[in-house]
Amino acid sequence: MLYGALDAGGTKFICAVGNENGQVLDQVVIPTSTPDETMPKVIEYFKAKIDPSLPDDEKIQALGISCFGPVDVREGSKTYGNILNTPKIAWRDFPMLKTLKEALGDIPMGFDLNVNCALLGEATWGSAKGLLDAVYLKIGMGVGMGAISGGKPVHGMLHPEAGHLIMSRVPGDDYKGHCPSHGACFEGMAGGLAIEERWGKPAKELGDRPEVWELEAKYIAQAITDILLTLSPQKIILGGGIMNQSQLLPLVRKYVLECVNDYIDTKELRNINSFIAPAALNGNQGVMGAIQLASIAAAE
């Protein structure tokens, strides 16, 4: 069975067709500009995949939409499927789900936050396969967290925003932090924009500066400790461009164990290398999660 998948990100939209095994069979990449410019191209792509002249087995049966946030994921809410107060002004309050429903008719659609979708992909085919309670942290220019509990994405009043956990400063660190709302929150201290402002260079040019990654690991570990103590996940998956620094993950594991300080003793923490693990789907977790979201929508 074929499913449509839209991975709507801050810099690019990936439109794809995949099957029930998570295989991506076709995809196009459209730059994120404004809704007026980007959405007609997205709609054109998916319209061709539901064209009545296609044989049934070549049509997509549902569409999964993975969207940058914040978004309204509360089914039944008046603004369900809308992008909310994003700093991308052109997209603020944009009715993503409604726009696609109006353009594509009544094929089943699933909608969720991009980091929740990425985790759904990892929990179906990747690093968290088979687990019901897991967390995905995307540490890129910004920081976002997806969570599943009992196999379902965590929503509640909005959706988790753990990229803005308030941090304690590492002693001696007087960097003000990059977040306009909180200064020294997780993203404000450890996101790619914070790294660039603090050290005067983008993260990818700082690979030979061990002190950068020591400090980065201490902030990530602090956030992970708060998250594991709060959500009790069976696994924490780390993705995003900053995690491409190979020296970072071992340091994060070391400092998480230091932060937990033997307070809890579980098989997961005793196997820290598998408990805190890299994403496994080679950057395709967003699209694959959207495929899984479509498959769930088709079954409902």
CB closer to Zn ion out of 50 and 158: 158
Helix (H, G, I), strand (E, B) or coil at 76: coil
Which residues would be at the binding site for Zn ion (CB under 5 A)?
164, 179, 181-182, 185
Backbone φ, ψ for residue 11 (5° rounding): -115, -25
First to last CA, the chain: 15
Q: Report in angstroms how near the CB of residue 226 gets to Zn ion at its nearest.
A: 14
CB closer to Zn ion out of 100 and 139: 139
Q: Report in angstroms how near the CB of residue 190 gets to Zn ion at its nearest.
A: 11
Q: Report in angstroms how near the CB of residue 162 gets to Zn ion at its nearest.
A: 10
Tell me what percent of the chain is helix, strand and coil, each rounded to the nearest 5.
Answer: 40, 20, 35
Number of other residues whose CB lies within 10 A of the CB of residue 72? 23
Q: Report in angstroms how near the CB of residue 87 gets to Zn ion at its nearest.
A: 12
Helix (H, G, I), strand (E, B) or coil at 191: coil
Helix (H, G, I), strand (E, B) or coil at 278: strand
CB closer to Zn ion out of 185 and 242: 185
Helix (H, G, I), strand (E, B) or coil at 254: helix
Q: Report in angstroms how near the CB of residue 183 gets to Zn ion at its nearest.
A: 8
R_g of the chain computed on alpha carbons: 19
Helix (H, G, I), strand (E, B) or coil at 266: coil
183: left (phi over 0), alpha (psi -120 to 50) or beta: left
CB closer to Zn ion out of 15 and 147: 147
What is the edge-to-edge ordering of all strands in the sheet holding 276-278? 152-153, 143-149, 134-139, 235-239, 276-278
Q: Report in angstroms how near the CB of residue 169 gets to Zn ion at its nearest.
A: 14
Q: Report in angstroms how near the CB of residue 70 gets to Zn ion at its nearest.
A: 12
CB closer to Zn ion out of 128 and 185: 185
293: left (phi over 0), alpha (psi -120 to 50) or beta: alpha
CB closer to Zn ion out of 64 and 69: 69
CB closer to Zn ion out of 224 and 287: 224
